[in-house]
Amino acid sequence: MKTPPVYTLTGNLLWEQTLAFTDWAPGCSQRAASATFQVGGKGINVSKMLNRLGMPNTALCFTGGFSGAACVAWLKAGEFAFRSFPAAHATRTGVVVRGGSHRETVFMGPDTPPGAVAVRACAAFLKARPDGGVLALCGSLPGWETTDFDPLRAVLESWIRRGTLVADTYGPPLAWLAGRPVALVKINRDEFDGLRGHASVRKVDAASCRVSTRNAAARRVYSPVHQWVITDGAKPVSLIDEQGKTAVLKPPRVREVSPTGSGDVLLACLLYARLRLGLPLRESVAFALPYAAANAADPGIATFPDFK
C-alpha cells in the first residue's frame, strides 16, 4: 500500500546521556559502569520506530550549540532522513540514571524555545511540501504562546485542510489543537481529563462532542478532533473514532524496565497500521499495543527484540 510522505516534528529536542550504575545514592560522587548517548524527543522516537518498521519518514527538529551539533551527528550516523533548523539557543541536555535499588531517574535541563528564525524556517519548509502529507506534531513546543510561533500556527491551520495532522503533545499546543479538526490526537489520560472546561475547548460547538469512559464513568470533551487515543501508563487504552464510538483495549502485561518512549512507539505503530496496512482505528491500536508493551520491557527506545 503506497503511503503519503510522513513528517515528525520534535519541538523540544534532547541531547541525552544514559549512565548505568551498579548502585548509586544522592549526596556523593559516583562513577558509572557504562555510558551511552542518544537523541531524545518524542518525534525522534516516533521516527526511530517508523524506520524500524521500514516506513519512510522525515524527522524535523530544532538544533543549536554544541549539544545540537552532537544531535545532528547522531541522526546522520543513524541514517535518519531529517531536517534540522538552527535554533537560537543550545539544544537542551539530559541525563538518564539507571541501576541499583533506585528506579530509572531522568534529569533534564530547562526547555529551550527555538526562536523566531528557526520557527519561520520550519514553517517555510512545511509550507513548501505538496498536499497530502502526514505531519505528526510531537512533544512540547517551548515558546508556543509567543508571536514567534505565528508562522507555524498558520501552516498547521492550512495543513489540516491539505493534509493529515496528528498530534501527541500537551499544554498550550494541545489546547490549541483540541479546538480544531485534527485527524488524530494521542494523549495521556491526565492531559485528556485536563481539557474539560478549558477555554479553547468550551468554544467548540457541542455537536462535536467526543466521549471516553474510565471506570464506567463518562468523560466528555467538546472538540472537533476526529479521533482520540488516550493512554494511561500500563492501564487500558481508550479510543474514540470518527463516529464517536468508543473502545477500551488492554495492553499485554510485561515486566516494566523503562516506560520511556513507549507512547512514541505506540504512535509510530498506529501510523504504520493506518497508513501502510489500511486498518481502522481500533484494529490499529490493537496492532500497536504489543510493540509499546515490548518497548516498556526493554531499556532502550525501539530497540526491543523482534517478536511474533
CATH number for the domain including 140?
Answer: 3.40.1190.20
Give the pLDDT of residue 222: 65
Q: Determine contact, residues 203/210, Cβ cutoff 8 Å.
A: no
The top-scoring range by mean pLDDT among 22-36, 81-95, 177-191 is 81-95
Residue 308 falls within a domain, yes or no? no
pLDDT digits (tens, 9 = 90+) for 114-142: 999 999 999 999 999 999 999 999 999 99
Whether pLDDT at 247 is above 80? yes
Give the pLDDT of residue 1: 65
Quickly tell me which residue has 516506560 as its cell.
259
Give the pLDDT of residue 221: 59
Residue 301 falls within a domain, yes or no? no
Rounded Cα–Cα distance for residues 108 and 87 (Å) = 18
Residue 94 falls within a domain, yes or no? yes
Q: Phi, psi at residue 125, to the nearest 5°?
A: -60, -50
- Tell me the mean pLDDT in the region 202-209: 41
Rounded Cα–Cα distance for residues 225 and 304 (Å) = 32
- Tell me the mean pLDDT in the region 59-83: 97
Residue 1 falls within a domain, yes or no? no
Domain region containing 208: 6-20+34-296
Residue 92 falls within a domain, yes or no? yes
Residue 29 falls within a domain, yes or no? no
Quickly tell me which residue has 505531519 as its cell.
135
Percent of the chain, pLDDT > 90? 74
Whether pLDDT at 223 is above 90? no
Give the pLDDT of residue 211: 42
Count of structural domains, the chain: 1
Q: Which helix (H) or strand (E) holds 92?
A: strand 92-98
